[in-house]
């Protein structure tokens, strides 16, 4: 970790503390060359297990690329997409596991995307859950309607916490 001020690679840790959620460690550092102090945050590397058995580091941009396609032509801003990416990463990290199966990313996306834009949600769900017919859309839409009339607005957390096999 080089100094952000003078680029010296010789920096010293003054103290380390676990961040409130326990998922990261903040370190206060100092640079002996220029005496500048700065803070670094160390976070668990999230790894995605792909269906092929291969694994790769979690990439937020890549995770929301399917969402971006689903939002085409919809009134969803780049900021909203960025927030969704953050929400998805937070949900995956809150699971406490360093490795997440690729399909859990899709699951974690469904909740927040539904709150963002229902049309984009249906598009995304149709690909993710491999809808095969108009009936699949109808079933999903009637579920959306039923939940809306029941006043369910926190689909987000519920979806992230209850991963279900998708066949």
Q: Give residues in contact with Zn ion (CB under 5 A).
A: 3, 5-6, 8, 31, 33-34, 36
User: Least distance (Å) from Zn ion to the CB of residue 17?
Assistant: 22
Q: Given the DSSP bridges, would you call strands 47-49 and 24-30 parallel, antiparallel or unpaired?
A: unpaired
Write the CB contacts of 43 (distance below 8 Å, at least 6 apart in sequence). Answer: 23, 24, 93
User: Could you tell me where the DSSP H helices lie in 46-133?
Assistant: 60-63, 65-70, 78-94, 102-116, 118-128
Q: Compare residues 36 and 129 and give the one whose CB is closer to Zn ion.
A: 36
User: Least distance (Å) from Zn ion to the CB of residue 12?
Assistant: 11
Q: Work out the number of other CB atoms within 10 angstroms of the CB of residue 25.
A: 14
CA distance 167 to 162: 15
CB 71 within 8 A of CB 117: yes
Q: Compare residues 6 and 83 and give the one whose CB is closer to Zn ion.
A: 6
User: Least distance (Å) from Zn ion to the CB of residue 1?
Assistant: 11
CA distance 137 to 147: 15
Q: Compare residues 29 and 114 and give the one whose CB is closer to Zn ion.
A: 29
Residue that is written with structure tokens 């199966």 in the block: 101
Q: Compare residues 4 and 23 and give the one whose CB is closer to Zn ion.
A: 4
User: Least distance (Å) from Zn ion to the CB of residue 28?
Assistant: 14
Q: Compare residues 36 and 68 and give the one whose CB is closer to Zn ion.
A: 36
User: Least distance (Å) from Zn ion to the CB of residue 155?
Assistant: 48
């Amino acid at each position: 970790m080089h100094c952000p001020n003078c680029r010296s690679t010789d920096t010293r840790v003054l103290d380390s503390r676990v961040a409130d959620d326990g998922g990261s460690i903040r370190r206060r550092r100092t640079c002996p060359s220029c005496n500048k102090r700065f803070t670094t945050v160390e976070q668990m590397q999230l790894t995605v297990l792909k269906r092929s058995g291969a694994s790769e580091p979690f990439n937020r941009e890549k995770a929301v690329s399917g969402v971006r396609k689903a939002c085409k032509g919809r009134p969803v801003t780049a900021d909203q997409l960025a927030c969704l990416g953050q929400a998805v990463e937070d949900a995956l990290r809150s699971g406490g596991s360093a490795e997440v199966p690729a399909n859990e990313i899709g699951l974690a996306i469904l909740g927040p995307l539904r709150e963002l834009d229902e049309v984009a949600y249906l598009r995304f769900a149709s690909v993710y859950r491999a809808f095969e017919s108009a009936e699949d859309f109808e079933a999903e839409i009637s579920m959306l309607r039923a939940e809306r009339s029941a006043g369910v607005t926190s689909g987000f957390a519920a979806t992230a916490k209850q991963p279900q096999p998708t066949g």
